[in-house]
């Protein structure tokens, strides 16, 4: 096992410990457990940074081109956003849910994919577009994941309040108004990032004159996701629907984003090999 792989294994263990302490704090308020969980989360972030540096040293370029790299940067973004939310009041459940996603991606990435180097010679004509496309798609994916987490919390809290099931757990959650605000903000950030990444992908198709890829499953799924999110903002602006409908709308859009990613195995647009 290489040093990079050993570090990856270590960050998985640290990530698991962080989740355990955050889960303990969410079940029963425990400031000590929260601080310990945060400490482990910082260690996870540091190990991720070291892992990226080692990959860069080994491959001679920033690791961004494989599925493994895409998911790793995604989990890195989730950890970084979680650390940024620590100072926000009543954010424990948001941080827990985000890092359940991040931890799951980290573990599945280790089990399913490898961090091998790929050849870029077939991408030379659109090399710059490729880098920007992957970077923006990753950031958009992360932002829309945050939006989806807030949407789930909104639906959960709304249901509890409707059924008048108020308890200490509910008191530790942000209000519906705050959750809706963060859901809108994360969606507002993620949608343009994802949209621009698709525009860059289309430009790469044009540059390579591979027009048939415009009908590719991945392109269609991503396009549908963007249409749904644009519809979300149009409806929000016109105040046509309640926030409960908007939360469901957010999750439907995120479902298409997930579908777009899972379609990599069947897509001819890119199979993460540079061909």
Q: Give all domains of the chain, ordered by start, each with its CATH number.
A: 1-118 (1.20.120), 121-275 (1.20.120)
Cα dihedral: 52, 58, 63, 66 (round 10)? -120
How many Å apart are CA 69 and CA 51, to the nearest integer? Answer: 11
Q: What one-character-per-residue DSSP string does 9-74 give?
A: HHHHHHHHHHHHHHHHHHHS--HHHHHHHHHHHHHHHHHHHHHHHHHHHHHSS-S-SSHHHHHHHH
How many Å apart are CA 265 and CA 260, to the nearest integer? Answer: 10
The answer to whether 93 and 172 have CB atoms below 8 angstroms apart is yes
Stretches where the chain sits below pLDDT 70 are 1, 115-129, 167-169, 207-213, 264-275
Compute CA distances 176 → 156, 190, 247, whole Å: 10, 21, 11
Give 33-49 pLDDT, tens digit per residue: 889 999 999 999 999 99
Q: Which residues contact 66 (CB under 8 A, 6 or more apart)?
A: 113, 114, 115, 116, 118, 272
Q: Is 245 left (phi over 0), alpha (psi -120 to 50) or beta?
A: alpha
How many Å apart are CA 130 and CA 200, to the nearest integer? Answer: 8
Smallest Cα–Cα separation from 90: which of 174, 186, 153? 174
Residue 265's pLDDT is: 61
Q: Which residues contact 105 (CB under 8 A, 6 or more apart)?
A: 71, 74, 75, 78
Size of the chain in residues: 275
The reply to whether the predicted model has a pTM over 0.75 is yes
Sign of CA dihedral 139, 268, 273, 105: positive
């Amino acid at each position: 096992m290489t040093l990079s792989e050993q570090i990856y294994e270590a960050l998985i263990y640290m990530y698991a410990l962080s989740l355990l302490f955050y889960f303990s704090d969410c079940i029963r308020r425990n400031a000590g457990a929260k601080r310990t969980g945060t400490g482990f989360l910082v260690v996870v972030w540091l190990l991720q940074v070291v892992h990226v540096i080692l990959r860069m040293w080994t491959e001679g370029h920033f690791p961004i081109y494989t599925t493994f790299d895409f998911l790793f940067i995604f989990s890195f973004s989730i950890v970084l956003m979680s650390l940024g939310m620590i100072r926000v009041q009543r954010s424990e459940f948001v941080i827990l849910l985000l890092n359940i996603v991040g931890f799951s991606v980290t573990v599945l990435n280790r089990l399913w994919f490898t961090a091998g180097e790929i050849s870029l010679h077939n991408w030379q004509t659109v090399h710059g577009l490729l880098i920007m496309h992957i970077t923006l798609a990753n950031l958009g994916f992360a932002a829309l994941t945050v939006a989806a987490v807030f949407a789930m919390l909104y639906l959960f809290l709304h249901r509890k309040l409707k059924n008048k099931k108020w308890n200490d757990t509910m008191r530790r959650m942000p209000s519906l108004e705050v959750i809706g605000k963060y859901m809108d903000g994360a969606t507002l950030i993620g949608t343009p990032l994802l949209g621009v990444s698709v525009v860059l992908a289309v430009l790469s198709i044009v540059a390579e004159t591979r027009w048939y890829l415009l009908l590719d499953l991945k392109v269609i799924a991503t396009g549908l996701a963007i249409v749904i999110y644009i519809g979300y903002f149009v409806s929000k602006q016109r105040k046509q629907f309640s926030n409960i409908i908007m939360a469901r709308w957010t999750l439907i859009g995120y479902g298409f984003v997930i579908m777009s990613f899972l379609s990599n195995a069947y897509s001819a647009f890119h199979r993460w090999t540079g061909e």
